[in-house]
Amino acid sequence: GAVVSQHPSRVICKSGTSVKIECRSLDFQATTMFWYRQFPKQSLMLMATSNEGSKATYEQGVEKDKFLINHASLTLSTLTVTSAHPEDSSFYICSARAFSGTGTRNTEAFFGQGTRLTVV
């Protein structure tokens, strides 16, 4: 089945630095990828929709200058947490849906392994 690979799985960075998280679709082309944030013991919170070749669409309340998204190819989207602070510490997950003959209307989503970001 389709695979989405996310790296790194875990990162610790100093406050004020930037961290880049990569999300790759390994055996299918993903024109759209989705980035989520998950707080401990909570559900997924959609942050943004990443569109290949165009600007990302951010959910209300998500700072686009803080969370930079680039989707330069059909298989790679990146999320950069800029000037990270301890409150940015969280679990970040990417996702993509594969196209079937009828588009994505009824296809499942595939998820990366997640990235645990800790800002110290």
Say how far apart CA 102 and CA 100 lie, in whole Å.
Answer: 5
Among 14, 43, 54, 60, indicate the residue that binds other proteins (CB under 8 A).
Answer: 43
Among 20, 22, 32, 68, indicate the residue that binds other proteins (CB under 8 A).
Answer: 32
Among 77, 78, 90, 95, indicate the residue that binds other proteins (CB under 8 A).
Answer: 95
Query: Which amino acid is located at 115 in the chain?
Result: T
Among 12, 26, 74, 109, indicate the residue that binds other proteins (CB under 8 A).
Answer: 109
- The tokens describing 45, both together, are 């919170």
Say how far apart CA 58 and CA 80 lie, in whole Å.
Answer: 14
Contact 77, 53 (CB under 8 A): no
Q: Judged by CB under 8 A, does residue 14 bind other proteins? A: no
Looking only at the bridges linking them, the beta strands covering 76-81 and 19-25 are: antiparallel
**Contacts to other proteins by CB under 8 A:** 6, 31-32, 34, 41-44, 46, 49, 93, 95, 97, 103-114, 116
